[in-house]
């Protein structure tokens, strides 16, 4: 199973990191070892002094597919959740400056946190409000209608390059408001105003 991540899929977030708004999706990956096991706290790795949260809608692929057309992409998933794409921003900036790959900053153990799976049919995936609270204060809030590339468009684009398999995950990008986490922080992930997952930082 693989984890495909999309960068800069919300214009306001691209601007906050002084990145250009992309004309095609920015794609990177995490290995399956990046998934934080259920019930575990998130430990800030010692190689980062600026470990940031990125709240994202995550789609789970339920059919094998390659070269999927956008109009058929909705047939390839029926569940989603909210997740965190933890990022060692200081390390990422150094790698970006040198034109090197981001994996050390993005794909380390525990860097992918997942909430509980929800049925797509019970929600409006293209108009979904979601937010992240840190110690009770909302730090990120987004709506999926502000995605530069919709979920179906992302599946079409990603599957040009990579065969999608059952169980593969797509992190669909983060809205504005990324920021550093500190030991003892409590992160709460809210979907349409209700908390669906909490995570303690150590």
**For Zn ion, which is the closer residue by CB, 44 or 67?**
44
- Rounded Cα–Cα distance for residues 27 and 25 (Å): 6
Give the separation between CA 150 and CA 74, rounded to whole angstroms: 11
Nearest Cα neighbor of 54 from 117, 136, 130 is: 130
The single residue among 4, 84, 85, 144 that binds Zn ion, judged by CB under 5 A, is 85
- The torsion angles phi and psi of 142, rounded to 5 degrees, stand at -145, 170
Q: What share of the chain is helix, strand, coil (3-state, %, to 5)?
A: 25, 35, 40
Those residues whose C-beta lies under 8 Å from the C-beta of residue 61, and which sit 6 or more positions away, are: 76, 77, 155, 164, 165, 166, 167, 168, 169, 170
**Which is closer to Zn ion, CB of 34 or CB of 184?**
34
Q: Report in angstroms how near the CB of residue 87 gets to Zn ion at its nearest.
A: 7
Output 20 or 121, the one with its CB closest to Zn ion: 20
Task: Closer to Zn ion by CB, 159 or 174: give it.
Answer: 174
Please state the closest distance from residue 9 (CB atom) to Zn ion, in A: 8
Q: Which residue number has the CB closest to Zn ion?
A: 85
Residues binding Zn ion: number (CB under 5 A)? 3
Among 36, 44, 54, 60, binds Zn ion (CB under 5 A): 54
Please give the residues from 140 up to 179 whose contact with Zn ion meets the rule CB under 5 A.
Answer: 174
Query: Which residues here bind Zn ion, judged by CB under 5 A?
Result: 54, 85, 174
């Amino acid at each position: 199973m693989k984890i495909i991540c999309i960068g800069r899929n919300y214009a306001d977030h691209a601007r906050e990191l002084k990145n250009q708004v992309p004309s095609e999706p920015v794609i990177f990956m995490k290995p399956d070892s990046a998934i934080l096991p259920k019930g575990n706290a998130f430990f800030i790795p010692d190689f980062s002094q600026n470990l940031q949260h990125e709240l994202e809608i995550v789609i789970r692929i339920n059919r094998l597919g390659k070269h999927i057309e956008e109009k058929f992409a909705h047939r390839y998933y029926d569940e989603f959740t909210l997740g965190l794409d933890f990022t060692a921003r200081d390390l990422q900036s150094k790698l970006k400056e040198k034109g090197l790959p981001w994996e050390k900053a993005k794909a380390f153990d525990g860097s992918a946190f997942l909430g509980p799976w929800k049925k797509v049919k019970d929600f409006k995936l293209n108009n979904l409000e979601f937010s992240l609270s840190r110690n009770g204060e909302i730090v990120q809030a987004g709506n999926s209608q502000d995605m530069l590339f919709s979920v179906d468009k992302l599946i079409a684009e990603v599957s040009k390059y990579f065969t999608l398999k059952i169980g593969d995950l797509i992190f669909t990008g983060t809205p504005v408001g990324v920021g550093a986490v500190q030991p003892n922080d409590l992160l709460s992930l809210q979907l349409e105003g209700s908390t669906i997952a909490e995570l303690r930082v150590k």
